[in-house]
Structure 1
Amino acid sequence: MVSFADFETDFVAFAVSAAIVAAYYGFLNIKARTNPTYTIHGVNALARSLWVEHIMRNASKDVMAVQTMRNFIMGSSLMASTAALLVVGTLTLSGQAENISQSWHALSFKGSVATELWIIKVMFLLLDFIVAFFAFAMSVRLANHVVFMVNVPEHDAHHTLSPRAVARRLHRAGNMFAIGMRAFFFAVPLVFWLFGPYFLLISSIGLVIALYHLDRSESDEALETVIRPAVPSQATPTDISMQAKYAK
């Protein structure tokens, strides 16, 4: 008979890992309130809104709109299929707890190797992949709705099909896709948890560090370095002021 004390190390490690991830997303939300384009997600949301307005105001862009939405739907469908396969693989893994639970903990310095704990870990991993599948499936559903809406000319559109309303629906589809990708990322620490609690902590810290570099959009200083043209050595003050103006 196992007790809670036997699982204490693993549960503490899971709680700390969840707190690290939650603190990271709290930090992102605070930064996004003052600067909506601080993260790449904010930049993507802005791009989607401008794209929808451009498409609905230019009837000649209908073919490009369909091709773009088709590519988006194909990507979401592929990820949903991948999540479904991972769900099946995780269910298969849950039936082998007695055979591999101890061998997978060979490198673990501390932590229980009880079959009950192994099942709990696999259930968390299964739940993560189910969330990913649902998010990608919802992304496909919402994008299929937008395919018809985005080709409606703005001047003929009902107020519920205005560019702003259509952009909100496309933004929801993009958010669901992002949630699915986050679920895939969070699966990495959960997989390492199968090997022991300390692997969970280390992988969670590594994931947050990686996401910190991936989530941020390019800074204004970096963009200026790329965009600003070289100033000729014999340039007049007027030329320099004009170059500085258009480099911003």
Structure 2
Amino acid sequence: MEWRKCYLDVILVPLGFLLTISYHLYLWHKVRTQPFTTTIGRNAHGRRFWVGAMMKDIDRKNIVAVQTLRNLIMGSTLMATTSILVSAGLGAVISSTYSVKKPVNDTIYGAHGEFMVALKYVALLTVFLFSFFCHSLSIRFLNQVCILICVPQDPMCMVTADYLTELLEKGSLLNTIGNRLFYAAIPLLLWIFGPVLVFLCFASMVPVFYNLDFIMCNYGQGKVEENGNKEFV
């Protein structure tokens, strides 16, 4: 009888996770092998030039550099604050004496016993906490870039454009991971009302992510040869 109550949860929820994990593995492969077909790869390519351009003329562009980095920090701060507030709310619900299964007593599909409902809340809490963790680390790296990018250029200075680019890339990557974890919490939130909604949400998010992550048209993309090597421009 217990299997009949939770077999949809056991099948559909892991299948939804497998679907989105497979998509992100494919995206990671494309970013590594064909970066200019993805927005992540092109943005990373542009950030490398941006750091070099800012440091080359930092006396005139210091306000632009700091303002741009501050906007990135504000975005990560907003997401981190939202994640930790939701985590605190979920923690209060789980630890309260009020039965967490009362809001879903009328669930039609899937199990809604005390253990299963607690598992749903704990999964939500875990995802939001990891999202907060990634955004917090992103803020740390972006703050370092914001400070070091205005350091006067000196032959003895160890703060180079490559070093700042690496810090900026780490901050941007952590921000992207934190956002994707935050989005993954949406299907888990729907899991409270049944596993069918979880799978449908995961399945609908994949084409949305694909349209956002991949570049359908090669805008301004061509190949030039320099010293016998081909590069994308």
TM-score bucket of the superposed structures, by smaller chain: 0.7 to 0.9
Could you tell me which residue of structure 2 aligns to residue 168 of structure 1?
A: 166
Paired letter, 1:61: K
Matched residue pairs, number? 217
1:199 maps onto 2:197 in alignment: yes
* Stretches of structure 2 lacking an aligned partner (at least 5 in a row): 221-232
1:98 maps onto 2:101 in alignment: yes
Q: 1:157 to 1:3 in 2, by over 3 A?
A: farther
> Cα deviations across residues 159-213 of structure 1 (Å, max 9, x unaligned)?
4x21011101011011111111101110111111111111111111011111111
Query: Take 1:186 and 1:195, find their aligned partners in 2: how far apart are those partners?
Result: 16
Q: Percent identity?
A: 28
Aligned counterpart for 1:187 among listed residues 185, 188, 209:
185
RMSD after superposition: 2.0
Query: Take 1:29 and 1:175, find their aligned partners in 2: how far apart are those partners?
Result: 12
The 3-state SS of whatever aligns with 2:193 is coil
Query: Take 1:69 and 1:101, find their aligned partners in 2: how far apart are those partners?
Result: 44
Query: Take 1:144 and 1:134, find their aligned partners in 2: how far apart are those partners?
Result: 16
| TM-score computed with the length of structure 1 as normaliser | 0.80
Given that 1:43 and 1:217 are in contact with CA atoms closer than 8 Å, whether structure 2 keeps it comes out as no
The 3-state SS of whatever aligns with 1:41 is helix
Query: Take 2:132 and 2:30, find their aligned partners in 1: how far apart are those partners?
Result: 29
Query: Take 2:65 and 2:155, find their aligned partners in 1: how far apart are those partners?
Result: 18
> Cα deviations across residues 34-63 of structure 1 (Å, max 9, x unaligned)?
311222111221121111111111132112
Paired letter, 1:207: M
Could you tell me which residue of structure 2 aligns to residue 210 of structure 1?
A: 208
The structure that has the greater radius of gyration is 1
Given that 1:97 and 1:119 are in contact with CA atoms closer than 8 Å, whether structure 2 keeps it comes out as yes
Could you tell me which residue of structure 2 aligns to residue 17 of structure 1?
A: 16
The alpha carbon displacement at 1:6 in A equals: 4.4
Could you tell me which residue of structure 2 aligns to residue 52 of structure 1?
A: 51
Q: How does 1:1-248 map to 2 (within 5 A)?
A: 6-59=5-58, 60-94=60-94, 95=96, 96-103=99-106, 105=107, 108=108, 110-156=109-155, 158-159=157-158, 161-220=159-218, 223=219
Name the stretch that deviates more: 34-43 or 117-126. Answer: 34-43
Query: Take 1:51 and 1:79, find their aligned partners in 2: how far apart are those partners?
Result: 24
| TM-score computed with the length of structure 2 as normaliser | 0.85
Q: 1:24 to 1:67 in 2, by over 3 A?
A: same
Given that 2:101 and 2:112 are in contact with CA atoms closer than 8 Å, whether structure 1 keeps it comes out as no
Paired letter, 2:116: L
Name the stretch that deviates more: 188-197 or 146-155. Answer: 146-155
* Stretches of structure 1 lacking an aligned partner (at least 5 in a row): 225-247
Given that 2:139 and 2:171 are in contact with CA atoms closer than 8 Å, whether structure 1 keeps it comes out as yes
